Chain A
Amino acid sequence: MASLVFKILKKEGTLILVLFSFLLFSPVYFLDIFLIIPMAFFLLHREMLNLAAPSEQNVILYKLYGLPDSVLLWSNTLMILSVNALNFTLLMFFGLFALEGMKSSDYLNQLLVLNGVLLFALSFGNTMLYYRLKGSAFLILQKILIVPLFFFSVLLIFTILFLLSQAVPTLAAAVFVMLLLIWLTSALYKYDRAEKYL
């Protein structure tokens, strides 16, 4: 299942191309490590939305045959792994260009903000998927609304977490734990356990 999910992730999005262009032209090397986060989300939003809030054909398939836990779990895990791998690679490049090197506390803060936003984004996608599975599979308006709503809320959470991590790191950690719990709830919710389907 992992290989099929990865293929869907790769083919429905633009993962490889944007990753290469980002590595070549990224302004991150000269600016700030935190800039990686909104940039990474901007680049990877199609992959996130395609699996967590997927295309109409996927929604129809899930509605017809059910949504096994493994699909959601693999898609979420692959997103977490790929975003963190992207982040790690970019930070490595950044380390080469930074004159003073990187403090470990800065790195941990960045990881907390990145993964906090990532967990929120995945929870958002999972929730949207459940919402579409419960209602009509065909409302195009939903898709039009989902993308701007996704960007707005992800940027909002990024700003909150970033400011908190700079001013009150303990509170930022508490928000991160809350986001982790929300994501766990959304990822482990058993769609197939819903008794009444029609």
Chain B
Amino acid sequence: MLCTNMIGLKNISKRFGTQTVLNNVSLDIRKGEIHALLGTNGAGKSTLIKILAGLLPKENGGIYYDQAPMKTERIRKIGFVFDESLYLPYLSAGEYLEFVCRLIGMGPKTYQPKIDESLSLFSLPADRKPINTYSNGMKSKVSFAAAMIHSPEFLVLDEPFNGIDFITTREVVKILKQRAKEGTGIFVTSHQFDIILELATHFSILHGARIILSMPREQLQEEAEKLFADLSAGEAVKTYVENSILA
């Protein structure tokens, strides 16, 4: 069946020196789903996302958007948030969002209402204070606002909740859930399993440079509950995932 509205990663491989970080990794991310990529530290999750963003070259494999090779104009349909917040420290939140809109190719009439809306959605200041004076949580919200300013069809988030307080995390999770409901595809990696468990509708595990498990939430939950009937649903999934990695 020909699947549209999806990002396809096909047989992606990457080596750093003699170490193989990704070995023929294939994944599909569909619109409307929240796809969580889990794995231990150094499993290659961030490398995969940087390859998807075009920030790192890959050894082989292909990246597709609606079955066609990904090109510059397509990558603009994706919003990225990385583990380290991305912003220009000396610009204010509004100026930074304006710069991003200009890079995307929006005109002032289009971007000004979007900037106002984003600043209000993420409770960011509209004054001229530079971003480097913001708290970590606010800096992170700037990254989210920039990634979502052009209403992308997909959001790719690499450890987006690192170093953010729980209130900001709750606010962001709420926005992400809303976006997914509206049809945005979300691909997320995080060590914070509880948040992932709350958010994700599809789980994949990257281990030993390969995808060892990839299934929808219902299927994963069903299998986990069969094996760990004595645990709560969340604990069962957690144990199932841990055991998959350990095995």
Enumerate chain A interface residues (CB-CB to B < 8 A): 1, 4, 7-8, 11-12, 57-58, 60-68, 70-71, 135-138, 192, 194-198
* B238 CB within 8 Å of chain A: no
- Tell me, rounded to whole Å, the shortest Cβ–Cβ distance linking A21 to chain B: 21
* 3 A-B pairs with the lowest CB-CB distances in the bound complex, closest first: A11-B90, A65-B103, A137-B55
How far apart are the CA atoms of A66 and B102 in the complex, in Å?
10
- Tell me, rounded to whole Å, the shortest Cβ–Cβ distance linking A15 to chain B: 13
Query: Are A196 and B71 in touch, CB under 8 angstroms?
Result: yes
Secondary structure of the A side of the interface?
Answer: helix
Query: Are A198 and B75 in touch, CB under 8 angstroms?
Result: yes
Chain B 57-89 interface residues, beta-carbon cutoff 8 Å to A = 57, 62-63, 69-72, 74-76, 80, 82, 86-88
**Interface with A: B93-101, B172-180, B212-220, which one?**
B93-101
Q: Given A71-B103, A136-B56, are A58 and B88 neighbors across the interface (CB < 8 Å)?
A: yes
Query: Are A138 and B56 in touch, CB under 8 angstroms?
Result: yes
User: Which of B69, B100, B103 interacts with A67 by CB under 8 Å?
Assistant: B103
17 contacts between A and B (CB under 8 A): A4-B91, A8-B91, A11-B91, A12-B90, A60-B86, A61-B88, A63-B53, A66-B105, A71-B103, A136-B57, A194-B72, A195-B71, A196-B69, A197-B74, A198-B54, A198-B63, A198-B75
Chain B 193-224 interface residues, beta-carbon cutoff 8 Å to A = none
Query: Are B54 and A63 in touch, CB under 8 angstroms?
Result: yes
* B121 CB within 8 Å of chain A: no
Interface size in chain B (residues, C-beta < 8 A): 31
How far apart are the CA atoms of A198 and B75 in the complex, in Å?
9
- B88 partner residues in chain A, CB cutoff 8 A: 8, 57-58, 61
A61, A65, A135, A136 interface centre (most CB from chain B within 10 Å): A65
- Tell me, rounded to whole Å, the shortest Cβ–Cβ distance linking A154 to chain B: 26
Which chain B residue shows the least CB distance to A193? B72
Enumerate chain B interface residues (CB-CB to A < 8 A): 50-51, 53-57, 62-63, 69-72, 74-76, 80, 82, 86-88, 90-91, 95, 98-100, 102-105
Q: Given A57-B86, A58-B88, A197-B71, are A65 and B76 neighbors across the interface (CB < 8 Å)?
A: yes
- Tell me, rounded to whole Å, the shortest Cβ–Cβ distance linking A134 to chain B: 9
Q: Given A63-B55, A198-B75, are A68 and B86 neighbors across the interface (CB < 8 Å)?
A: no
Query: Are A64 and B90 in touch, CB under 8 angstroms?
Result: no
Query: Are A68 and B70 in touch, CB under 8 angstroms?
Result: no
Query: Are B55 and A61 in touch, CB under 8 angstroms?
Result: no
Query: Are A66 and B72 in touch, CB under 8 angstroms?
Result: yes
- B56 partner residues in chain A, CB cutoff 8 A: 136-138
Q: Given A57-B86, A197-B70, A197-B72, are A64 and B80 neighbors across the interface (CB < 8 Å)?
A: yes
- A57 partner residues in chain B, CB cutoff 8 A: 86-88
Which chain A residue shows the least CB distance to B91? A7
- Tell me, rounded to whole Å, the shortest Cβ–Cβ distance linking B111 to chain A: 12
- A58 partner residues in chain B, CB cutoff 8 A: 88
- Tell me, rounded to whole Å, the shortest Cβ–Cβ distance linking B112 to chain A: 14
Q: Given A137-B55, A196-B71, A197-B54, are A65 and B87 neighbors across the interface (CB < 8 Å)?
A: no
